[in-house]
Amino acid sequence: MHVDAFNQYHAGESLIHHLDARAKVVVAISFIFSNALLPDGSWVTFTLAWMFLLLANELSGLGLGFTLKRSFVALPFALVAGSAIFSPLGEPLAVWDLGFMTLIPTDAGVRRFFSVLIRSWLSVQMAILLVATTPFPDLIHALEHLRAPRVLTTIIAFLYRYLFILTDEARRLLRARESRSANLSGRKHGGTLWWRAKVTGNMVGQLFIRSYERSDRIYKAMLSRGYAGHLRTLNPHIMRRFDWLILILSLTFLLLVQFLGWIQ
């Protein structure tokens, strides 16, 4: 596996790429917040929010369809929302008798179902755009600026740093397992499910110990460079006028969307 499997960042020189990471985080969260706040069935304002997303896509230089292509990760979850169609709160549209239970789709239910899907679909795309235009270390700094607890952001930075190294180690363990999983014809192979799960558990234990020992070595390396329990970070980002401008414009737009959504 290539290290870049963990790098969702797409380098670029666009306006969005150069925007301060804090501004981007705030806009993305506000966008998601705004979607959650819009009432069910406010199709016009959902479309406006989508326009906003498309504009951001375009300005990022990644292309209009960039996030669209990657936006279907949440789809399996749509199954879960499917049952909302049968919400008892609206007017019945039909009656489906399945024998063991009777399902009654309602107008409010259908509205709810599609609203949930659209909200989720828009929000996921914004999150995708955020990580595609912001290097992850900058994202962590932005969270620090936005007062996320320092301990947590540092843990996340470590996680990001060692993610690839440990998944690679996990991969090596898997490969070792596979290379010894011989398959003789005429015999039941692979062992029982119980046994397979147990082998996996042993590998997890092995990985744990290796990781633990590594954290010990890292701790020593930190100590030897003057770490004394107090985390310090150097955070060179400054919000420029331009960042503020974009931030305020975006938030104003989202407020407008809310306004339109609620007067309908």
Partner 1 sequence: MPVKHQAVHDIRTPLCEGEILQVQDLEFAYPSGYAALRGIDLCIREGERVALVGPNGAGKSTLMLHLNGILGQSKAILIAGLPVIPENYPVIRALVGLVFQNPDDQLFSPTVFEDVAFGPLHMGLSEEEIYQRVEEALAAVQMSEFEDHLCYHLSMGQKKRVAIATVLAMRPKILVLDEPSAGLDPRARRSLIQFLDTLPITMLAATHDMRLVEDLFPRMVIMDEGEIVADGLTSRLMANDSLLKAHGLESSRA
Partner 2 sequence: MLFSPTPLHIPDGFLNLVISLLFWALTMAMVGLAISKTNKTLGERQIPLMGVMAAFIFAAQMLNFPVAGGTSGHFLGGALAAIVLGPWAGILTMTAVVAVQGLLFQDGGLLVMGANIFNMGILTAAIGFGLYRAVRNRPRALRLGGIGVAAWLSTIAAALITSLQLWLSGTSRLEIVIPAMLGVHALIGFGEAVITVAAVAFIEQTRPDLLRAENSANGKWGWAVAGMGISLLVVLISPLASAKPDGLERIAEDLGFINAGRSAPYEILPDYTVPLLGETALSTILAGAIGALFVLGILILVGRRMSSRA
| 152 lines the binding site for partner 2 (CB under 8 A) | yes
Binding track, positions 175-204, relative to partner 2; x by CB under 8 A: ---------------x--xx-xxxxxxxxx
Work out whether 140 is an interface residue with partner 1 (CB under 8 A).
yes
Q: What residues pair up with 103 in beta bridges, in sequence order? A: 96
CB nearer to partner 1: give 213 or 248: 213
**Binding residues among 46-65 for partner 2 as defined by CB under 8 A:** none
Hunting for tokens 């499917």 — which residue is that?
82
First to last CA, the chain: 51
Phi-psi region of 191 (alpha: psi -120 to 50; beta: other; left: phi over 0): left
Q: Is 149 in the site for partner 1 (CB under 8 A)?
A: no
Task: Pick one of 5, 37, 75, 223: the residue that binds partner 1 (CB under 8 A).
Answer: 223
Amino acid, single-letter form, for residue 12: G
- For residue 225, the Cα-to-chain-centroid distance in whole angstroms is 34
Give the nearer residue to partner 1 in terms of CB position, either 74 or 218.
218
Query: By CB under 8 A, is residue 136 in contact with partner 1?
Result: yes
Nearest to 211 by CA among 136, 159, 247: 159
Residue where the block lists tokens 């959650």? 36
Name the residue nearer to partner 2 (CB basis): 183 or 212.
212
Examine residue 258 and tell whether it contacts partner 2 (CB under 8 A): yes
222 in contact with partner 1 (CB under 8 A): yes
158 lines the binding site for partner 1 (CB under 8 A): yes
CB of 233 to partner 1, least distance (A): 7
Three-class secondary structure assignment of 203-256: HHHHHHHHHHHHHHHHHHHHHHCCCCCCCCCCCCCCCCHHHHHHHHHHHHHHHH
Using rule CB under 8 A, residue 248 touches partner 1: no
Here the contacts of 51-54 (C-beta below 8 Å, separation 24 or greater) are 52/250, 52/253, 52/254, 52/257, 53/122, 53/125, 53/126, 53/129
Indicate whether 3 belongs to the interface with partner 2 (CB under 8 A): no
What is the nearest approach in angstroms of partner 1 to the Cβ of residue 240?
18
* Chain residues that interact with partner 1, rule: CB under 8 A: 3, 7, 136-137, 140, 157-158, 160-162, 164-165, 214, 217-218, 220-228, 230, 232-234
